[in-house]
Amino acid sequence: MVMSRIRQRDLTAFEDLYRRYRIRLGRFLFRLVRRPHMVEEIIDDTLMVVWERAASFNGESKLSTWIFAIAYRKAMKALRKQDEPLQDPGPDEGVSLDPTPEDDARRLSLQVLLLEAIGELSPEHRAVVELTYFNEMGYREIAEIMGCPVDTVKTRMFHARRHMKRRIGGRLADWL
């Protein structure tokens, strides 16, 4: 197991873990904090905690749950400290909105609307959406990551979906 090797200060095992989680954490954190300049720092802070506190991982949860929980807490702390006004990221920052050859204009329009709708959510609501749809995690795992009850996760998802449905309008089938 990679964590037992990291507990023994195996730098190669840590580098493997870093490579395995860097991109996933980056996507999650970018969508959560919406400040590209903060993402790398939060990733580094998260993985430093993994390195320094490897012995505290007891295997009661999945490794990804433990790492994403650390990242979530680091991101929320960074957002609380941040005093600059929140700016809406444009399509040129982070997530590429360029359609692939098989995509059509309707799919691109929906993607833009979805990103805008998700961007309007609070960080807690964005985290639930991001972890559910982009990281394919269940509500129990998300609750563990976010340090809240499962019912809170369900409530946040309900409100996030309701907001996105109002924002997008019409039936999803109309857009696909």
Q: How far is CA 32 from CA 2, 20, 56, 60, 141, in A?
A: 27, 20, 26, 26, 17
Q: Is the dihedral of CA 33, 66, 129, 24 positive or negative?
A: positive
Range of the domain at 68: 2-175
d(CA 122, CA 31): 11
The one-letter code for the residue type at 113 is L
pLDDT interval class at 97 (50, 70, 90):
very low
Each residue's pLDDT tens digit, 118-161: 889 999 999 999 899 888 889 999 999 999 999 999 999 999 98
For the entire predicted model, the pTM comes to 0.63
Structural domains of the chain, count: 1
CATH (domain of 138): 1.10.10.10
**What pLDDT sits at residue 52?**
93
